[in-house]
Structure 1
């Protein structure tokens, strides 16, 4: 039976790969078809009538009719949906609201419709099937799989079920995987993250775990608990553990820590999911870029990040993008988001097929002195420093120090929680700073012009980041530490957790 399941998975994977090839080979046509289908379906919604969807034939007409909006600007429409009104952003009512943490407005409620949840589920499935097709490895489908996620318990808002995206997704695990799935429903429903992790450890220690999925920082916590309880590396405890699936943050700064906890290297698949849609997944083990899903009910526009806040900034379609440019990603979806500023920035690594890497957040950068440092740059610098000094890092963030004590020059402060100290701290700092200068010419000019001094390190005590996240009610689930900021709010909040 086990071998039959693996054989069936390979056959299904081949079929899905063949289907995907049709839109991969015709990307512009796939996006044009998606655009027309979205506009057509929403023509008679309140949003569609307000924005003249009945008269829109081209992308340029869409740009004229529909400005780029963030959540706050779309909120008047979403409030109507929350109040129970139908046919507002998409025909009928959404099946769900994905509740996320907002920065200026408290909780955000992102609509999820029948067509959009179908695409979310399909993309999750196809990411795994693509891996099977590429590698030929399918034996893991017979083992146990764990997806570290939020509680599947959903609230009700005027007849619309509401909860975290990962909790909503828990209701859509295919029947053929239900017997393989861990943790139990009861454990998944536990809200307190630390209690939940302990229970997950209880349920998985003696199982044949083959697939583990989740945000790296929280999977790391699970691995640490396993090692503390059993005294074994995760790879010895789960000898058939083959595949780690993750999304939400860059894995590279965590990789050395993970390999130490596991005791060996395992294959991994990176995903790019969000409450607003499932955008991309890693389609090649040897590629860092993620395959952008162009036939999944999402129409994409891209605005150069440096132009994003300028009036009239050009909105590029998929046929107009270039490799290596930092773009803000704007989406229109079959969940009823229109010209929606996702907040993420991406860069294309390939145009055949279209692959992207997530470079950061359009509002998360450091430019206190005009340097415009982004998340991708600090993460790459940390990756290089770790590689060359044998350090292991649990977590880190970066902030500008504009007014240091005395007559010091300003600098970038790196707040780092080490799992293992670098063998040579001066070398570690030098690699960080030099790599930053190599990537960002503005930063280099500021250093060479003695406007900034080289970066400085502040050590955060063991478990400090976790305690900070716990203190603000964001421990576990889909929550992640902000990698950098243009102010000192996060840095100052971490100061109570500094090493003394």
Structure 2
């Protein structure tokens, strides 16, 4: 055992105790965060426009600060981008995380002196809690990789601009610098396919112990290793035993990954975004991720089925229930106020507060009032393929409203690694699972408004080809699990 791995264990124990302290006092912790945010924001342009000095509690905040998405907050953000200080948060941000927008192109999310450390500490603490729970610290002596965006930054009006994963790359602790892969030069390659090829070449001779990234893009890396060596990834990297991921649900990929690796490995799920690092998996055998209540973020929750009604109720942490689909709203020390991320979450536990990401409020199918969400289609896929030889590389779902004949239906576009012998049997399993999960969908099937779903097999590499055609190959980009129109599926090569 090296000095580094020996020291990791007592440090992990210290961090675990600190986490337990706030996790066991959730309401008081969030109250303190709220009060600190309002005090800090009172002198900003946003705080003055919304009368922060008269906000004494959450009810006051709700009256003065409406829920906004990026488009609604954009006039303030543009002032910050132009170099104006004290607009959303005191001073100027350290960075802008540039992300893909929806209706207005690129989005610029501020990262401040106060918010930036939360991104770094949360990723570190997720690993330390794993060490504390399992006692496994050997991996800190091996090589670690995170498939991420380029760390090259540009400057705009005195503020550094880049992708979040590239910005975070500048904050890798010195004691991990020698373990970190790929090289800086490789990390700066823009073309994703060229970059992955270079990563494969660099990592093949190394003792890789931790691999991290969005599952769909790590899968591409694993497949290239297998193609080049003819071996399972676990045989190439014999000490690889920890996979860290975020961005999408891992379960639809798990069987494929275990086949590519050749064995099971431990995993840690993260919930990071440019707007904040919200949660991480704190227990290997507990469902959900620990919501970070002590990281400069105040959370509000709106029931998803009420979100588009007039004046939906904004709940705080003390009001939420397990199993309900909520839209998560944040206010943070990055200067985001009443900000709608667009994510929907469900609580799996309230002692402590653990969440799963159930989808996106704009990513659903409700062409007939069924309101099927991402979590439901992912669970259906998991249940339908469990215990079979079927392996799925990627999938998305869209409504078919005007079929050539018969009733409308949901169409599942699936790229298989191993195709099923009986497509109709798989379709039936998927449909039955959706009916069990979603009573609206069940009623539409039973009432003969919809016919059972149909599967459309996508040729291998089809989803990657689509993402490449959209300029979204690699990085933090991922295919939406479902959509309420056919814009995505019409671009996927059949």
TM-score of the superposed pair, with normalisation by structure 1: 0.98
Q: Give 5+ residue unaligned stretches, structure 1.
A: none
Deviation at 1:385, TM superposition (A): 1.3
Kindly indicate whether residue 279 of structure 2 is the aligned counterpart of residue 285 of structure 1: no
Q: Deviations over 1:203-224 (max 9, x none)?
A: 0001000000000000000000
Q: How far apart are the structure 1 equivalents of 2:322 and 2:254?
A: 26
Kindly indicate whether residue 8 of structure 2 is the aligned counterpart of residue 5 of structure 1: no
Q: How far apart are the structure 2 equivalents of 1:331 and 1:206?
A: 44
Q: How far apart are the structure 2 equivalents of 1:332 and 1:373?
A: 28
Q: How far apart are the structure 2 equivalents of 1:221 and 1:114?
A: 35
Deviation at 1:3, TM superposition (A): 2.3
Deviation at 1:426, TM superposition (A): 2.2
Give yes or no for contact 2:410–2:453 (8 Å, CA) kept in 1. Answer: yes
Give yes or no for contact 1:216–1:249 (8 Å, CA) kept in 2. Answer: yes
Give yes or no for contact 2:280–2:289 (8 Å, CA) kept in 1. Answer: yes
Q: How far apart are the structure 2 equivalents of 1:99 and 1:46?
A: 23
Q: How far apart are the structure 2 equivalents of 1:434 and 1:59?
A: 43
Kindly indicate whether residue 473 of structure 2 is the aligned counterpart of residue 481 of structure 1: no
Q: How far apart are the structure 1 equivalents of 2:108 and 2:408?
A: 40
Q: Which residue of 2 aligns with 1:117?
A: 116
Kindly indicate whether residue 490 of structure 2 is the aligned counterpart of residue 492 of structure 1: yes
Match of 2:420 among 408, 419, 422: 422
Q: How far apart are the structure 1 equivalents of 2:439 and 2:322?
A: 19
Q: Deviations over 1:316-347 (max 9, x none)?
A: 00000000000000000000000000100000
Match of 1:451 among 449, 460, 475: 449
Kindly indicate whether residue 132 of structure 2 is the aligned counterpart of residue 157 of structure 1: no
Give yes or no for contact 2:423–2:455 (8 Å, CA) kept in 1. Answer: no
Kindly report which structure 2 residues correspond to 1:198-277, keeping only aligned pairs within 5 A, or say none.
198-277=197-276
Q: How far apart are the structure 2 equivalents of 1:89 and 1:216?
A: 34
Deviates more, 1:121-130 or 1:2-11: 2-11
Q: Which residue of 2 aligns with 1:69?
A: 68
Q: Which residue of 1 aligns with 2:44?
A: 45
Give yes or no for contact 1:111–1:335 (8 Å, CA) kept in 2. Answer: yes
* SS at structure 2 position matched to 1:207: coil
Q: Give 5+ residue unaligned stretches, structure 2.
A: none
* SS at structure 1 position matched to 2:315: coil
TM-score of the superposed pair, with normalisation by structure 2: 0.99
Q: Which residue of 2 aligns with 1:336?
A: 335
Q: How far apart are the structure 1 equivalents of 2:43 and 2:424?
A: 63
Q: How far apart are the structure 2 equivalents of 1:35 and 1:372?
A: 33
Q: How far apart are the structure 2 equivalents of 1:485 and 1:288?
A: 26
Give yes or no for contact 1:389–1:427 (8 Å, CA) kept in 2. Answer: no
* SS at structure 1 position matched to 2:231: coil
Kindly report which structure 2 residues correspond to 1:76-225, keeping only aligned pairs within 5 A, or say none.
76-225=75-224
Q: How far apart are the structure 2 equivalents of 1:79 and 1:6?
A: 46
Q: Deviations over 1:290-319 (max 9, x none)?
A: 000000000000000000111110000000
Q: Deviations over 1:176-228 (max 9, x none)?
A: 00000000000000000000001000100010000000000000000000011
Deviation at 1:388, TM superposition (A): 4.1
Q: Which residue of 2 aligns with 1:304?
A: 303
Q: How far apart are the structure 2 equivalents of 1:462 and 1:146?
A: 26
Q: How far apart are the structure 2 equivalents of 1:299 and 1:446?
A: 39
Give yes or no for contact 1:389–1:428 (8 Å, CA) kept in 2. Answer: no
* SS at structure 2 position matched to 1:141: helix
* SS at structure 2 position matched to 1:5: helix
Give yes or no for contact 1:389–1:423 (8 Å, CA) kept in 2. Answer: no
Deviation at 1:424, TM superposition (A): 2.8
Kindly report which structure 2 residues correspond to 1:312-461, keeping only aligned pairs within 5 A, or say none.
312-406=311-405, 408-461=406-459
Q: How far apart are the structure 2 equivalents of 1:133 and 1:456?
A: 46
Give yes or no for contact 1:389–1:424 (8 Å, CA) kept in 2. Answer: no
Q: How far apart are the structure 1 equivalents of 2:439 and 2:480?
A: 24
Q: Deviations over 1:348-381 (max 9, x none)?
A: 0000000000000001100000000000000000
Kindly report which structure 2 residues correspond to 1:14-29, keeping only aligned pairs within 5 A, or say none.
14-29=13-28
Q: How far apart are the structure 1 equivalents of 2:388 and 2:449?
A: 28
Deviation at 1:139, TM superposition (A): 0.4
Q: Which residue of 1 aligns with 2:34?
A: 35
Give yes or no for contact 1:71–1:340 (8 Å, CA) kept in 2. Answer: yes
Q: How far apart are the structure 2 equivalents of 1:216 and 1:398?
A: 19
Deviation at 1:484, TM superposition (A): 0.3
* SS at structure 2 position matched to 1:114: coil
Kindly indicate whether residue 479 of structure 2 is the aligned counterpart of residue 467 of structure 1: no
Deviation at 1:493, TM superposition (A): 1.3
Q: How far apart are the structure 2 equivalents of 1:433 and 1:30?
A: 43
Give yes or no for contact 1:48–1:89 (8 Å, CA) kept in 2. Answer: yes
Q: How far apart are the structure 2 equivalents of 1:459 and 1:426?
A: 12
Q: Deviations over 1:55-102 (max 9, x none)?
A: 101000000000000000000000000100000000000000000001
- How much is the aligned-residue C-alpha RMSD, in angstroms? 0.7
